[in-house]
Structure 1
């Protein structure tokens, strides 16, 4: 969906907002959502991604299949820090998202 929206014309942005808004509960106004959508479609930004349990709080227990043995207390601590203290776990990755290429939008 994200790729479809990013390659669409800016004229289609209101249609996407109308299609997706029934599935979202937010305190943002239509204009605020539109402004955010416009930034996503036209500016460069980064997305941080992570997963839990992290490599810091788990271990692989099989070489032939993917099983993870989790240290639950340590994982809960990392998750709590991430949500409430804005402290990302050590394995957080940042992905640079490029804005549209020059001249893509009239």
Structure 2
């Protein structure tokens, strides 16, 4: 039935069940399509099952982030990378209470 090829990041609606979901991954090796339902549940379809689905592409739902409790601020910087000011390991800056086997009891 489905002549629509799945694309990662696209939203679809199963016309028979009324479920809205996003394709989050396509595994070429396993011949599978991984989707995430609007409520947050993850599912996987093999390509044969995908072709049997009665789906249509839909616009991204306005409230799709509600299931994940994300705010607009959480989503605004999606994909932007963050670089720390210092690449040093913070654990290496912790002073030990034990020096040469002696406990520092101030």
TM-score of the two chains, using structure 1 as the length reference: 0.20
TM-score of the two chains, using structure 2 as the length reference: 0.20
**RCO comparison, higher one (Cα < 8 Å, 6+):** 1
Higher alpha-carbon Rg = 2
Q: Which has the higher helix share?
A: 1
Q: Which has the higher strand share?
A: 2
